[in-house]
Chains A and B, each alone.
Chain A
């Protein structure tokens, strides 16, 4: 078990000072006085799939807002590959998936997927090729011309994921992406996301969820958060090697880990 764990995280661990995302004593107080995050310390290494689990209001989305520069932190430090959030955003290697699919209703599936590329001025021909590639990955190659309203909730989320993948990001932030989906769709999207990610594991994924099963299935580490004030109360390493398949859900180790995460959630 120990060997597995080292194999899993060894790459990132070797360069401790080369953390991909580094949060030290990170705090966020909103202007209205809400302490959303208090003294958060976390190093995320390259190629990790880390989940943030916790009840709503514990500051999960706030962490993302700080990383993306949508909102500034009030104290402490936050760096992404040594860059400030703003610099990191300008470097164009971060992508996002929200709970809401945020597709443009008046644009076709392919135009929606091409959006990040066309906003940065890539050629249409090249962007189209990339968009078709990622749509193939999420199984929607036949829906390029469809409008979002013609798609089911699960398909919209697939398009949203394709849009995030199209720019070949180094960092992928996902804020409760599957929360609005039914359990069956949710599981198949988890399977797909995992199979895409574990092909080369070149992407670092930060994944917010309040579903413990989802977190244990996908992640290499689970950060458990508690509210008021928001902080990381525990980090549970998920020492099961990739590639993981569907059958991982039925293993005893899976249940054990779910139990461990749930237990630290209730503390």
Chain B
């Protein structure tokens, strides 16, 4: 992957000028904008490779980019399988945290009494480090996918809950009066006013939870991962570390970052699309 990114940078640099007739101005600006980071990337990877070769650093301590690439190619099937496993755990855990987080926030926001009695405990729960309770989760769910998805869900859940709750509680006062004056039921006020008005807050929670759920899935795999074909990246990393297969460890780590970035960009795009048709805040940024 280092290679493909490097070559993309080169293409951008070489062809940006002669191909300008075929590219819209926006794309040209984007390509030109991509040149400096691509150049920095090539420089960094190149230096790393050279230093590794010059100083003969042992591969198990710091593998060269070429070692990492080779390890990735050699173990391609295993790596891809692990990536897909982690990705699906991330998505399922994330979706659970979104649905349950928003749902719980709606329940809490529907009654001041419920909110005041339950929310303090939600905050306390949030401060408990997941690592500390992971063994209990393993005891409850047994090692494997269920426990991992639950850990992922738990990590993504609180940002969804608290963001949605803040959003639901910050509805414009005049709007609330309007609904009251037109005899709206609490349910109508929730669905037609408070929830849509909370959308920007929910979206902010979505972005936080998206990032956290990748971390959650990998941590879950550390703690509760089963070996074999369905091990996931977290499990592959622990195995590679104990066997000192450092290049493969790096390859797994890089794959995890790519998964994280990819998932975040996906959610980010989804958020933009959701917001653009609904809210002024997003539009104001664009023009």
Contact = CB atoms under 8 A, between A and B. Distances in A.
* Chains A and B form a bound pair: yes
A260 interface: no
B177 A105 contact: no
B183 interface: yes
A119 B175 contact: no
Contacts of B183: 89-90, 92, 119-120
A173 to B, nearest CB: 9
Interface string B261-282: 0000000000000000111100
Contact of A100 (B174, B180, B192, B199): B174
Interface string A92-122: 1010101010101110000000011001100
A119 B174 CA distance: 17
Given A102-B175, A104-B193, A96 B181 contact: yes
Contacts of B182: 92, 115-116, 119-120
Contacts of A102: 172, 174-175, 178
A90 B184 CA distance: 10
A151 to B, nearest CB: 12
Given A105-B280, A106-B279, A149-B280, A70 B181 contact: yes
Interface of A: 68, 70, 89-90, 92, 94, 96, 98, 100, 102, 104-106, 115-116, 119-120, 149
Report the 10 A-B pairs with minimum CB-CB distance, sorted nearest first: A106-B278, A116-B182, A119-B184, A119-B182, A102-B178, A102-B174, A149-B280, A100-B174, A106-B196, A105-B280
Interface of B: 172, 174-175, 177-184, 188, 192-193, 196, 199, 277-280, 283
13 contacts: A68-B181, A89-B183, A92-B183, A102-B175, A104-B175, A104-B193, A104-B196, A105-B280, A106-B277, A115-B182, A115-B192, A119-B182, A149-B283
